[in-house]
Amino acid sequence: MREEVTIQFTKIHDDAQVPTQGSQLAAGWDLRSIEETVVFKETSARVKTGIKIAIPVGYEGQIRARSSLGAKGLILPNAPGTIDADYRGELMVLLTWIGEGDSYTIPKGERIAQLVISQIPKVSFFEVSESDLGNTTRGEGGFGSTGRF
């Protein structure tokens, strides 16, 4: 059984829409643009959703790309974006155009990203010596060190 989390929200624009799931078991809630926005080649634009939310303490919101837009060349440059529990501003989605052509026009009302709510554990950092971190097979290998296939 899944825990139910309630997210309070408010519309700050007449054209704002409640986040919706694409299917009953979808992990993300679709966010929509409230205005037409042009994203120029290799630049980023903040796309407004017209909503503010209150994420409960102990959770975060992750803004993730919609695969259909990514396939066209409209990507999130900071994917996933993080919405902290203490943020109360408008949800905006940062999108970058890397596809064909000089620009991409996002129509008003288009589903532009997904909002995923994730639980965040309470974490403490405890400083130790490097040898206390322990050894692993991977060691210091990063950036592709585990192979491609």
pTM: 0.86
C-alpha span between 112 and 30 (Å, rounded): 7
Residue 94 has pLDDT above 80, yes or no: yes
Whether 146 maps to a domain, the answer reads no
Collect all residues with Cβ–Cβ distance below 8 Å to 128 and sequence separation of at least 6.
Answer: none
Whether 15 maps to a domain, the answer reads yes
Give the domain extent around 115: 8-121
Whether 136 maps to a domain, the answer reads no
Q: Are 49 and 90 in contact (CB under 8 A)?
A: yes
Work out the average pLDDT over 108-123. 96
The mean pLDDT value of the chain amounts to 93
pLDDT score for 137:
83
Q: Are 127 and 104 in contact (CB under 8 A)?
A: no
Residue 103 has pLDDT above 80, yes or no: yes
Whether 126 maps to a domain, the answer reads no
pLDDT score for 88:
97
CATH number of the domain bearing residue 32: 2.70.40.10
C-alpha span between 68 and 104 (Å, rounded): 14
For residue 77, say if its preceding peptide bond is cis, omega within 30 degrees of 0: no
pLDDT score for 139:
82
Structure confidence by residue, pLDDT tens digits, 32-84: 999 999 999 999 999 999 999 999 999 999 999 998 999 999 999 988 899 99
C-alpha span between 17 and 90 (Å, rounded): 13
Work out the average pLDDT over 80-97. 96
Q: What are phi and psi of 29, to 5 degrees?
A: -110, 125
Residue at token pair 């803004």: 63
Q: How many domains does the chain have?
A: 1
- Band of the pLDDT at 3, cuts 50, 70, 90? confident
pLDDT score for 19:
97
Classify burial at 108, counting beta carbons within 10 Å of its beta carbon; exposed 0-12, middle 13-18, buried 19 or more: exposed
C-alpha span between 107 and 15 (Å, rounded): 13
